[in-house]
Structure 1
Amino acid sequence: MSQKRSFIATCPKGLEQLLASEIASLGGEPLRETVGAMMFNADLATVYRLCLWSRLANRVLLILSEFRGESAEDLYQGLSAIDWQAHMLATNSISVDFNGQTDEIRNSHFGALKSKDAVVDYFLARGEARPSVDKSAPDIRINIRLNRGQITACLDLSGESLHRRGYRSSGAMAPLKENLAAALLLRADWPGIASRAGALIDPMCGSGTLLIEGAMMAMNIAPGLLRQRWGFRGWLEHDQSLWESIVDQAEAQRSLALTREWPEIRGYDANGKIVAQAQENIENAGLERFIKVSRRELAQLAKPTHRELDHGLLITNPPYGERLGEQAELLHLYRHLGQSMLAHFSGWQGAVFTGNADLGKRMGIRSYKQYQLLNGTIAAKLLLFNIGPDAQVRERRPDVQQESAAESLQLTSGGQMFANRLRKNLKRLSKWRSKNGIECFRVYDADMPEYAVAVDCYGSAVHIAEYMAPISVPEEDAERRLREVIEAVSQVFNLSANNIAVKERRRQRGKDQYQRQAPRNTVMELQEGQAKVLVNLYDYLDTGLFLDHRPVRLDIAARAKNKRFLNLFSYTAVASVQAGIGGAKVTTSVDMSHTYLQWARRNLSLNGLSESRHRTEHGDCRRWLKECKDQYDLILLDPPTFSNSKRMDDVLDIQRDHGELINDAMACLAPDGLLIFSTNKRDFILDQELTSKYKMEDRTRWSLDEDFSRGGKPIHYCWYITR
C-alpha cells in the first residue's frame, strides 16, 4: 500500500496538537482534529513507523467506511456493505470496540453486538466459515465510532493501546500511563534539556514511568520495540517485509544508543517495594545502565553530587488527595517539594503534574506555564517552573495592624515590672538563641509569684498561658494581673494585644480550665533544628510543640541514623520528624488522639517524610505496648501525668504506672537500644526497683535548655535507660 489512505490516531484528551506534530514528523499528513483524536493521511510505511515510534498515540485506526446512521439497522447495513474479505479471513478471530449511542443504540455493548453480527453475517452469506470472537487477543480488532449520526468503521492496526510499551510488569499505586508521561516530558521540553546534557530527576518516581519514557526519548529509542502483539498482523494487506525493515532500523538505532553516554537520569521513592517495581520495569526496558533509582525520602531530595549538574529537569507526579492520602497532609508535602526545588535546584526547570490545583498553588513557587490535561478521569494540570529566586512566592503574612501606641503604652507599676523582667530574660537568652538558632523558646515562666504565667515566643508570635491562681487570690486580682501581662508583652514585642495568643485559666475542671478563644485556624510553620514544625497558638490547649523537650528531640535526631524509632504518646510527632530527618530507617508514632495524629501526619509531610516509612498508629499506648511484637533501637516514652480518657481501658496515673510502662517499653527495645523516659509530673518519684533492673542515667539537668534552667523543681524529669 504505497498510496496514501485515511487514518485516525487517538490520544488522551489535551494531546491532540502534540500528536499532530508527531504524525507530521513521522511523515504523515494531519487533516482534522477532534477531541482525543487526529485524522491524517499516510502510506503504509508511515503508519508502521507511527505504530512503532509514537510516544503519544493510543491507537492507529485505518478508516474502512464512513456513513450516516442512527438506528441499529443503519449500523448493520452500513457495516455489511464493507468488503471484509479484502481485510480478513473468515477463519480470523475478531473483537469489536464500539463507542457512542443514540436513542435506539443505547449502550456500547448493544452496538458492539450488532456490529459483530454484521461482520459474521457477511461471511456466512458468502458461504464462508463464521469468524470467532476473541475479546482478549483477536486476530482482527474492529473499531466503530458513532457520533451525532456519523458512523466511522475502522480496523485497529495497533491492537492493544500503544501506551502499553511492554516494559511494565507491575505498577506502583496510581501509575501514570506511558503516553501521558511522554506528553508531560515533551511539554517540559525534556528533549531540548537532554540535548544540552541536562539531567532528569523524579523525586517521587513510583513505577518509574517518567524516567523510562525520558530515557527512551533522550536516546531516541522507539517505544514500541518491546511490544509482542500488533493489530495489523492478521490484516490481509500487511507487508511483513516492509514492517521488518522498519523494525530492523529501529533496533540498530537502539543498539547504537546503548553504547553511548547519556544524561543523568535518577528517581527516588520512599517506598522500598515501589522502588523494586521501578527497578524491575527499568530492567525490562533494558535501561538499567542509564536510569538509577533508590529508596529516598522527599526530605533528602538534593542534586546528585558525584558530577556537576548545573541544569536539568525535575519532574514528578505527586499524590493528589483524590487518589492517595489526605489533602490537608498533602498540602505540606507540596510545600516541602516547592521549598526543596528552590533550595537545591536553582537554574533547573521544574514540572509538577497534579490533579489538585489548590495543592499546586501551595508550593510557594510560581509557574510560568500551565497545561490542562486528564489523568484517566481526573482533571489535572502540568505546572512548569523556571526554578530560581525570582519564582519564589513570598507568602503574605496575616494583615497584622500594629498598634502605634504599643511602645508608648503607659503601663501600671506592676506591668512595668513585668516588662522589665521580659527584657532582662530576652537579653540573657539572646546569645544562646543566636548560637543555636533557636526560633521557639520560653521567655518567662512564673519568675515572679504575682504573675503566674508562661510566656513563649514562636518566631515573631507570642503565646501566654496563665497558671491557676491560688484560692487566696481574688478573681479580680488575677484578671488585673493578666491584663498587665498582656499590656507588657504588647509593649516589649510591639504587638497588638489582639495578636497575642492568650490561654486564660479559671477555677473549673478538665478542659474547661482554660478559656479558649474562638478558633482561628491559623497555623504557623516554624523551625526546630533541621525540622519544620506546624504550630497553632489559638485553637487548642497546647500549641503542637512542647518547648521543654527540645534537647531530647534534637538528641534523637543525632542518634537516629539507621535506627528504628518508636514514639509513644507521640502528640504531634515532632520527635518522629526529628528522627526521620536524622536518617531513621522507620518511625512509628502512637497516640490516642485522632486530632494529634492528623497533626503528626502533616508535620511528617511538611518535612518530606512518607507514611510508608513513618507510620502513625491510633491506640492506647499501654495496650499497644503489650501487643507489640516488633523491636526498636530507640524509644521515646513521654506519657501525660494523668489521663482518664474514655478511649482508655483504665485511668493512667504516671506515678503509679510508670514502672509497668517502662518494663513494657523495654520489652520492645533491641538489645543495644536506648529508651528515653520523661515525665512532667513536678513531684515525681522514680520507682527504685527499676534501677536494679536497668541502667538508669538521670539526664534531667542536661535535658533543660537555657530557657527552662530556672531554680526550684525542674519542669520535667528525664532518664536514658539501657539494659
Structure 2
Amino acid sequence: MRFFASCGKGLEYLLVDELLALGCPHATATIAGANVTGSLRDALHAVMWSRLASRILWPLAEFDCADEHALYAGASAVDWTQHVPARGAIAIDAHVGGTGITHAQYAAQRVKDAIVDTMRAKTGERPDVDLHSPDVRISLVIRKQRAILSIDLSGAPMHRRGWRQRQGDAPLKENLAAAVLMRGKWPDVYRAGGALLDPMCGSGTLLIEGALMAADVAPGLMRHEDVPPTRWAGFDADAWADLRVEAIRREAAGRASLRPAFVGRDSDPQAMAPGAANAGASARSRMSAHSQSMTPASPATSELS
C-alpha cells in the first residue's frame, strides 16, 4: 500500500531519509512531501516517530475530477460507513489546483455533502462537522483534474508536539527546528559528547526539540498521550498500543541517560519568557533536568567564544 507524508517545501529529502530510517520499505520525494510504500503499521509508526512530517495521509480513493459533479460522484462512491462513525464528527481539509474547481472551501463542502448523503441513505444517521476536534479528519487534494481522498492518520498537524504553552513573535515550527537539527547532525554531535547552545533562543523551540531528540522521546507520544490520533474505523488500535509501549520504554531509557547539554540565551528577557514557560511545560512531563537552562545573557557573557 502507498501513503503520503506531507512536509514543508525544502524538507522532502530529509523526510525521505527519516522515513526510511523508521523502517518504511520505500519512499520517494515529491513536492511538499514523500510518497511512501508500506503497511498501515508503517504509517502509524511515522505518526508516532516522525519529527519532520506535517501529516500522514492514508488514501481511500482516487478519481477523475473535472468539476463539482465528478467530485460529488467520486466521493459518493466511497462506502463511508466503513470509515466514519455514524454519530461521529468529521472535518475535510481541501487543497485544489489545476482544475475546474478553484475554491477549496467549496470543494470541502461538496465532499461533506457526499459523505452525509451516502451515510444517511445507508444508516439513517449522519456525522456532524467539527473543524477543530473531529473524530475523523479527511484530506482532499485535487491536482490536474485528479482527486485523492485520504484519511488523515495524524489527526492534527504533527508539528504540534504538545509542549508549547507560549510563543514569541514569528516562532519557529517544531518540525522545522527538527530539520535544522537533523541537517546539523545534532544526534551524532550529542552522542559524541557535544552540547547545544542557542544564543538567540527566544521561545526555546530549537533547544526543546534538541532535548527531545537526545532523550529519544517520540513526538506522537507527547502529542496524543493516551488518546489515539483518530477514530477512523480502520484504525489499528493494537498496532498503536504496541507503538506506545515501545515509545514509553525508549523514553524512560532516554531520560535516564540524558545529560545536561542544552543552553539557551537571549539579549531580551521578554523574548525569553515564552521559552521558560515552554521549557517548564516540557519539563513537567519529559525533561525536568533542563528547565533552568534558559537564562538571559548578561553583558559579561554576551560574546560567545
TM range (shorter): over 0.9
> Alpha-carbon deviation of 1:103?
5.6
Give the TM-score of the pair, scaled to structure 1: 0.40
Shift of 1:288: 3.8
What is the alpha-carbon distance in structure 1 between the residues aligned to residue 300 and residue 92 of structure 2? Answer: 49
Q: Deviations over 1:346-371 (max 9, x none)?
A: xxxxxxxxxxxxxxxxxxxxxxxxxx
Aligned counterpart, 1:290: 290
> Is 2:146 the counterpart of 1:157?
no
Which amino acid counterpart does residue 248 of structure 2 have in structure 1?
A: E
- Equivalent positions of 1:51-90 (< 5 A) are 51-90=47-86
Between the aligned partners of 1:101 and 1:196, the Cα distance in structure 2 is 47
**Structure 2 CA distance for aligned equivalents of residues 27 and 169 of structure 1:** 32
Contact 2:140/2:147, CA 8 A, preserved across alignment: yes
Q: 2:32 maps to what in 1?
A: 36
1:46-75 Cα shifts (integer Å, max 9, x gaps): 222211111000000001111111200111
Task: Specify the code of the residue in structure 2 equivalent to 1:290.
Answer: H
Match of 1:244 in 2: 241
The answer to whether structure 1 residue 9 and structure 2 residue 5 are counterparts is: yes
8 Å Cα contact 1:94/1:133 also seen in 2 = yes
Distance apart, 1:270 and its partner CA: 2.1
- Counterpart amino acid of residue 251 in structure 2: R
What aligned pairs does 1:497-576 form with structure 2 within 5 A after superposition?
Answer: none
Structure-2-length-normalised TM-score: 0.92
Q: Which residue of 2 aligns with 1:279?
A: 276
Q: Does 1:131 align with 2:127?
A: yes
Aligned partners of 2:99 and 2:143 also within 8 Å: no
Match of 1:143 among 124, 139, 142: 139
1:703-714 matches, cutoff 5 A? none
Contact 1:279 1:288 in 2 (8 A): no
Distance 1:100 1:233 in 2: 24
Cα shift at 1:284: 1.5
1:234 aligns with 2:231: yes
Letter in 2 for 1:172: G
Q: Distance in 2 between matches of 1:301 and 1:47?
A: 45
Preserved CA contact (<8 Å) 2:4 2:33: yes
Provide the rounded CA distance (Å) in 2 between the counterparts of 1:147 and 1:137.
27
8 Å contact kept, 1:30–1:38: no
1:199 corresponds, among 195, 201, 205, to: 195
- Tell me if the contact between 1:163 and 1:177 (Cα under 8 Å) persists in the aligned partners: yes
In the TM superposition, residue 178 of structure 1 has moved relative to its aligned partner by: 0.2
The equivalent position to 1:222 in structure 2, one of 218, 225, 230, is 218
Q: Aligned-pair distance for 1:32?
A: 3.6
Distance across 2 between alignment mates of 1:260 and 1:103? 54
TM superposition shift of 1:232: 4.6
Supply the distance in 2 between the matched residues of 1:298 and 1:266 (Cα, whole angstroms): 17
Q: What is the CA–CA distance in structure 1 between the aligned matches of 2:18 and 2:148, rounded to whole Å?
A: 23
Name which structure has the greater RCO, CA cutoff 8 Å, separation 6+.
2
Aligned with 1:21 (options 17, 20, 23): 17
Q: Contact 1:31–1:38 at 8 Å: present in 2 too?
A: yes
Q: Is the 8 A contact 1:200 1:263 kept in 2?
A: no
TM-aligned CA deviation for residue 101 of structure 1? 3.5
CA distance in 1: counterparts of 2:114 and 2:296, whole angstroms: 55
Contact 1:142/1:155 (8 A) holds in 2: yes
1:709 is matched with which residue? Answer: none
Q: What residue identity is the alignment partner of 2:253?
A: L
2:97 to 95, 98, 101: 101
Post-superposition CA distance 1:633-692 (Å, at most 9, x none): xxxxxxxxxxxxxxxxxxxxxxxxxxxxxxxxxxxxxxxxxxxxxxxxxxxxxxxxxxxx
Residue identity opposite 2:183 in structure 1: R
Q: Distance in 2 between matches of 1:245 and 1:78?
A: 35
Mark the CA change 1:232 to 1:281 in structure 2 (over 3 Å): closer, same or farther: closer
CA shift for structure 1 position 263 = 5.2
Shift of 1:214: 0.7
Contact 2:214 2:258 (C-alpha < 8 Å) held by counterparts:
no
Q: Distance in 2 between matches of 1:105 and 1:272?
A: 49
SS in 1 for 2:52: coil
- Counterpart position of 2:167: 171
Check 1:197–1:112 CA distance in 2 against 1; reply closer, same or farther (3 A cut): same
Deviation at 1:261, TM superposition (A): 4.1
Counterpart amino acid of residue 295 in structure 1: P
Q: Distance in 2 between matches of 1:111 and 1:177?
A: 28
CA gap of 1:299–1:80, structure 2 versus 1, over 3 A, is: farther
Matched residues, number: 300
Kindly provide the CA deviation profile for residues 294-323 of structure 1, in whole angstroms up to 9, marking residues without a partner as x: 011587335xxxxxxxxxxxxxxxxxxxxx
1:332-411 correspondence to structure 2 within 5 Å = 340=304, 344=305
Tell me the CA shift for residue 86 of structure 1.
1.6
Are the counterparts in 1 of residues 87 and 128 from structure 2 also a CA contact under 8 Å? Answer: yes
Residue 272 of structure 1, CA deviation: 2.1
> Contact 1:194/1:263 (CA < 8 Å) preserved in 2?
no
Query: Which whole-Å CA distance do the structure 1 matches of 2:268 and 2:220 have between them?
Result: 29
- What's the secondary structure of 2:58's corresponding residue? strand
Instruction: Report the Cα distance in structure 2 between the residues aligned to 1:224 and 1:269, rounded to whole angstroms.
Output: 29
Counterparts of 2:16 and 2:260 in 1: how far apart (Å)?
28
Secondary structure of the residue aligned to 1:201 is strand
Are the counterparts in 2 of residues 203 and 298 from structure 1 also a CA contact under 8 Å?
Answer: no
Distance 1:231 1:73, change over 3 A: farther
Higher helix proportion: 2
- Counterpart of 1:266? 263
Deviations 1:265-309 (A, max 9, x none): 10011222332321221122122413611011587335xxxxxxx
2 CA distance for matches of 1:23 and 1:101?
27
Q: Distance in 2 between matches of 1:143 and 1:299?
A: 53
User: How far has the Cα of 1:219 moved from its partner?
Assistant: 2.1
Preserved CA contact (<8 Å) 2:86 2:123 = no
Does the 8 A contact of 2:89 with 2:135 survive in 1?
Answer: yes
Structure 2 letter corresponding to 1:289: A
**For 1:430-460, what per-residue CA distance to the aligned partner results, in whole angstroms no more than 9, with x for missing partners?**
xxxxxxxxxxxxxxxxxxxxxxxxxxxxxxx
Please state how far the C-alpha of 1:175 moved relative to its aligned partner. Answer: 0.5
Q: Secondary structure at the match of 2:230?
A: helix
Q: What amino acid sits opposite 2:289 in the alignment?
A: R
CA distance in 2, matches of 1:297, 1:145: 51
Q: Is the 8 A contact 2:161 2:220 kept in 1?
A: yes
- Secondary structure at the aligned position of 1:280 is classed as helix
C-alpha spacing 1:207/1:288, structure 2 compared with 1 (3 Å) = farther
Partner Cα distance (1:299, 1:67) in 2: 64
Give the partner amino acid of 1:241: D
Tell me which structure has the larger Cα radius of gyration. 1
C-alpha distance after superposition, 1:536-591 (max 9, x if no partner): xxxxxxxxxxxxxxxxxxxxxxxxxxxxxxxxxxxxxxxxxxxxxxxxxxxxxxxx
RMSD: 1.9
Runs of 4 or more above 4 Å deviation: 229-232
Paired residue secondary structure (1:295): coil
CA contact (8 A) 1:95 1:141 kept: yes
